[in-house]
Amino acid sequence: GAVVSQHPSRVICKSGTSVKIECRSLDFQATTMFWYRQFPKQSLMLMATSNEGSKATYEQGVEKDKFLINHASLTLSTLTVTSAHPEDSSFYICSARDKEAPLGYTFGSGTRLTVV
Amino acid sequence: GQSLEQPSEVTAVEGAIVQINCTYQTSGFYGLSWYQQHDGGAPTFLSYNALDGLEETGRFSSFLSRSDSYGYLLLQELQMKDSASYFCAVNYGNTPLVFGKGTRLSVIA
Protein backbone atom coordinates (compact mmCIF):
# COMPACT_ATOMS: atom_id res chain seq x y z
CA GLY A 1 0.00 0.00 0.00
CA ALA A 2 0.88 3.66 -0.17
CA VAL A 3 3.43 4.85 2.34
CA VAL A 4 4.34 8.28 3.59
CA SER A 5 7.77 8.42 5.16
CA GLN A 6 8.15 11.10 7.83
CA HIS A 7 11.43 12.17 9.39
CA PRO A 8 12.64 12.70 11.97
CA SER A 9 10.50 10.66 14.33
CA ARG A 10 11.79 12.54 17.35
CA VAL A 11 13.69 15.79 17.68
CA ILE A 12 14.78 17.90 20.60
CA CYS A 13 15.87 21.43 19.90
CA LYS A 14 16.79 24.54 21.81
CA SER A 15 14.40 27.43 22.08
CA GLY A 16 14.92 29.91 19.25
CA THR A 17 16.23 27.41 16.74
CA SER A 18 14.43 26.02 13.68
CA VAL A 19 13.45 22.46 12.94
CA LYS A 20 12.57 20.92 9.59
CA ILE A 21 10.25 17.95 9.27
CA GLU A 22 10.07 16.03 6.01
CA CYS A 23 7.33 13.90 4.56
CA ARG A 24 7.94 11.86 1.44
CA SER A 25 5.33 9.90 -0.45
CA LEU A 26 6.69 6.58 -1.63
CA ASP A 27 5.36 4.99 -4.82
CA PHE A 28 2.71 7.63 -5.37
CA GLN A 29 2.44 11.29 -6.14
CA ALA A 30 1.14 13.44 -3.32
CA THR A 31 -0.37 16.44 -5.01
CA THR A 32 -1.83 17.51 -1.69
CA MET A 33 -0.27 17.21 1.76
CA PHE A 34 -1.94 18.02 5.04
CA TRP A 35 -0.06 18.91 8.20
CA TYR A 36 -1.60 18.21 11.59
CA ARG A 37 -0.51 18.99 15.13
CA GLN A 38 -1.53 16.99 18.15
CA PHE A 39 -0.98 18.01 21.75
CA PRO A 40 -0.96 15.30 24.43
CA LYS A 41 -4.30 13.57 24.85
CA GLN A 42 -5.93 15.85 22.31
CA SER A 43 -7.19 15.42 18.77
CA LEU A 44 -5.37 16.03 15.52
CA MET A 45 -5.76 19.65 14.53
CA LEU A 46 -5.20 20.63 10.93
CA MET A 47 -2.51 23.27 10.56
CA ALA A 48 -2.26 23.71 6.83
CA THR A 49 -2.88 22.24 3.42
CA SER A 50 -0.17 22.34 0.82
CA ASN A 51 -0.48 21.72 -2.88
CA GLU A 52 2.51 20.96 -5.03
CA GLY A 53 3.87 24.07 -6.65
CA SER A 54 1.67 26.56 -4.84
CA LYS A 55 1.47 28.32 -1.50
CA ALA A 56 0.09 26.49 1.48
CA THR A 57 -3.30 27.32 2.92
CA TYR A 58 -3.13 27.82 6.67
CA GLU A 59 -5.91 27.25 9.15
CA GLN A 60 -7.08 30.12 11.27
CA GLY A 61 -4.74 30.80 14.14
CA VAL A 62 -1.71 29.13 12.56
CA GLU A 63 1.15 31.53 11.89
CA LYS A 64 2.37 31.06 8.34
CA ASP A 65 5.64 32.85 9.05
CA LYS A 66 6.36 30.52 11.92
CA PHE A 67 5.36 27.26 10.30
CA LEU A 68 6.90 27.32 6.85
CA ILE A 69 5.61 24.72 4.43
CA ASN A 70 7.29 23.84 1.20
CA HIS A 71 5.81 21.41 -1.31
CA ALA A 72 8.19 21.80 -4.20
CA SER A 73 7.79 18.32 -5.64
CA LEU A 74 5.09 15.69 -5.95
CA THR A 75 6.82 13.44 -3.45
CA LEU A 76 8.17 15.80 -0.81
CA SER A 77 6.65 18.30 1.57
CA THR A 78 8.47 19.94 4.45
CA LEU A 79 7.33 21.77 7.54
CA THR A 80 9.84 24.08 9.20
CA VAL A 81 9.12 25.31 12.69
CA THR A 82 11.02 28.57 12.92
CA SER A 83 12.23 30.15 16.15
CA ALA A 84 10.77 27.28 18.12
CA HIS A 85 9.49 27.83 21.62
CA PRO A 86 8.53 25.32 24.30
CA GLU A 87 4.85 25.81 23.49
CA ASP A 88 5.57 24.44 20.00
CA SER A 89 6.42 21.10 21.55
CA SER A 90 3.91 18.72 20.03
CA PHE A 91 3.36 15.74 17.77
CA TYR A 92 3.34 16.76 14.11
CA ILE A 93 1.83 14.42 11.51
CA CYS A 94 1.57 14.73 7.77
CA SER A 95 -1.07 13.17 5.59
CA ALA A 96 -1.02 12.80 1.86
CA ARG A 97 -3.89 12.37 -0.50
CA ASP A 98 -3.57 9.08 -2.31
CA LYS A 99 -6.19 7.72 -4.67
CA GLU A 100 -5.37 4.11 -3.83
CA ALA A 101 -5.65 4.37 -0.02
CA PRO A 102 -8.96 4.16 1.81
CA LEU A 103 -10.52 7.62 1.63
CA GLY A 104 -7.43 8.69 -0.22
CA TYR A 105 -5.47 9.65 2.91
CA THR A 106 -2.22 8.12 4.09
CA PHE A 107 -0.52 9.30 7.28
CA GLY A 108 3.14 9.66 8.09
CA SER A 109 4.48 8.14 11.30
CA GLY A 110 4.65 11.49 13.07
CA THR A 111 7.38 13.65 14.59
CA ARG A 112 7.61 14.27 18.31
CA LEU A 113 9.10 17.76 18.73
CA THR A 114 10.40 18.84 22.11
CA VAL A 115 11.67 22.38 22.51
CA VAL A 116 13.83 22.98 25.56
CA GLY B 1 -17.87 24.99 12.35
CA GLN B 2 -17.62 21.30 11.76
CA SER B 3 -17.47 19.33 14.99
CA LEU B 4 -17.71 15.74 16.01
CA GLU B 5 -18.76 14.42 19.40
CA GLN B 6 -17.48 11.20 20.92
CA PRO B 7 -16.99 10.06 24.52
CA SER B 8 -13.66 10.99 26.04
CA GLU B 9 -13.02 7.71 27.84
CA VAL B 10 -14.32 4.15 27.87
CA THR B 11 -13.21 1.21 30.00
CA ALA B 12 -14.05 -2.38 29.15
CA VAL B 13 -13.06 -5.87 30.21
CA GLU B 14 -10.87 -8.14 28.13
CA GLY B 15 -13.01 -10.37 25.92
CA ALA B 16 -16.01 -8.06 26.08
CA ILE B 17 -17.63 -5.88 23.41
CA VAL B 18 -17.44 -2.10 23.41
CA GLN B 19 -19.19 0.49 21.28
CA ILE B 20 -17.80 3.98 20.69
CA ASN B 21 -20.33 6.47 19.37
CA CYS B 22 -19.77 9.51 17.21
CA THR B 23 -22.13 12.26 16.12
CA TYR B 24 -21.29 14.78 13.46
CA GLN B 25 -22.60 17.80 11.61
CA THR B 26 -24.44 16.89 8.45
CA SER B 27 -23.65 19.72 6.05
CA GLY B 28 -21.42 18.50 3.23
CA PHE B 29 -20.95 15.08 4.78
CA TYR B 30 -19.33 12.46 2.56
CA GLY B 31 -18.30 9.69 4.91
CA LEU B 32 -17.25 8.69 8.41
CA SER B 33 -14.03 6.92 9.19
CA TRP B 34 -12.37 5.54 12.29
CA TYR B 35 -8.72 5.63 13.28
CA GLN B 36 -6.80 3.94 16.07
CA GLN B 37 -3.86 5.63 17.71
CA HIS B 38 -1.58 4.10 20.31
CA ASP B 39 0.39 6.41 22.56
CA GLY B 40 3.27 7.96 20.65
CA GLY B 41 2.16 6.53 17.34
CA ALA B 42 0.43 7.82 14.25
CA PRO B 43 -3.23 7.17 13.53
CA THR B 44 -3.96 3.99 11.63
CA PHE B 45 -7.05 3.56 9.51
CA LEU B 46 -9.69 1.13 10.76
CA SER B 47 -12.83 1.58 8.70
CA TYR B 48 -14.95 3.85 6.56
CA ASN B 49 -18.68 4.24 6.01
CA ALA B 50 -20.23 6.34 3.29
CA LEU B 51 -23.60 4.58 3.22
CA ASP B 52 -25.95 3.52 5.98
CA GLY B 53 -25.29 0.19 7.55
CA LEU B 54 -22.66 -1.95 9.13
CA GLU B 55 -19.18 -2.58 7.79
CA GLU B 56 -17.33 -5.50 9.34
CA THR B 57 -13.58 -6.00 9.37
CA GLY B 58 -12.58 -8.83 11.64
CA ARG B 59 -13.16 -7.94 15.28
CA PHE B 60 -13.96 -4.35 14.38
CA SER B 61 -17.21 -3.14 12.84
CA SER B 62 -18.44 0.33 12.04
CA PHE B 63 -21.98 1.56 11.59
CA LEU B 64 -23.44 4.66 10.02
CA SER B 65 -26.87 6.25 10.04
CA ARG B 66 -26.86 9.29 7.79
CA SER B 67 -30.38 10.29 8.80
CA ASP B 68 -29.29 10.46 12.44
CA SER B 69 -25.83 11.95 11.70
CA TYR B 70 -24.48 9.18 13.88
CA GLY B 71 -22.07 6.33 13.70
CA TYR B 72 -20.26 3.94 15.97
CA LEU B 73 -17.26 1.69 16.14
CA LEU B 74 -17.82 -1.74 17.62
CA LEU B 75 -14.91 -3.70 18.99
CA GLN B 76 -15.49 -7.35 19.81
CA GLU B 77 -13.44 -9.90 21.75
CA LEU B 78 -11.44 -7.10 23.28
CA GLN B 79 -7.75 -7.64 23.79
CA MET B 80 -5.31 -5.73 25.94
CA LYS B 81 -3.59 -4.44 22.82
CA ASP B 82 -6.81 -2.68 21.85
CA SER B 83 -6.13 -0.11 24.58
CA ALA B 84 -5.63 3.04 22.55
CA SER B 85 -7.35 6.21 21.45
CA TYR B 86 -10.00 5.93 18.78
CA PHE B 87 -10.92 8.87 16.59
CA CYS B 88 -13.88 9.29 14.34
CA ALA B 89 -13.17 11.52 11.36
CA VAL B 90 -15.45 13.01 8.78
CA ASN B 91 -14.80 13.64 5.15
CA TYR B 92 -16.58 16.82 4.10
CA GLY B 93 -16.22 16.78 0.37
CA ASN B 94 -12.83 17.65 -1.05
CA THR B 95 -11.43 18.80 2.28
CA PRO B 96 -9.00 17.25 4.74
CA LEU B 97 -10.34 14.95 7.40
CA VAL B 98 -11.90 16.56 10.45
CA PHE B 99 -11.18 14.55 13.55
CA GLY B 100 -13.19 14.10 16.72
CA LYS B 101 -11.48 14.62 20.06
CA GLY B 102 -10.88 10.93 20.49
CA THR B 103 -12.04 8.24 22.87
CA ARG B 104 -9.46 6.69 25.12
CA LEU B 105 -10.23 2.99 25.49
CA SER B 106 -8.78 1.13 28.43
CA VAL B 107 -9.06 -2.65 28.34
CA ILE B 108 -8.72 -4.24 31.75
CA ALA B 109 -8.24 -7.86 32.75
The predicted structure's pLDDT at residue A27: 85
Contacts with A9 (C-beta within 8 Å, 6 or more apart), sequence order: A109, A110, A111, A112
The predicted structure's pLDDT at residue B94: 67
Q: Nearest to residue A31, comparing CAs of A93, A79, A81, A95? A: A95
Subunit contact B42:A46, Cβ cutoff 8 A = no
The predicted structure's pLDDT at residue A47: 96
Residue type, A51: N
Nearest chain B Cα to A5, which residue? Answer: B42
- Taking any CB pair shorter than 8 Å as contact, residues of chain B touching chain A are 31, 33, 40-45, 48, 85, 87, 91, 96-102, 104
The predicted structure's pLDDT at residue A32: 87
End-to-end CA distance of chain B: 40
The predicted structure's pLDDT at residue A102: 63
Q: Which residues of chain A have pLDDT under 70?
A: 101-104
**Is B1 a residue whose pLDDT tops 60?**
no
Q: Which of B33, B91, B96 sits opposite A46 (nearest CB)?
A: B96
What letter would DSSP give residue A54? Answer: S
Q: Do the beta carbons of residue A85 and residue A115 sit within 8 Å? A: yes
Q: Nearest to residue A94, comparing CAs of A11, A16, A14, A38? A: A38
CA distance A18 to chain B (A): 22
Subunit contact A43:B96, Cβ cutoff 8 A = no
CA distance B60 to chain A (A): 16
Nearest chain B Cα to A113, which residue? Answer: B40
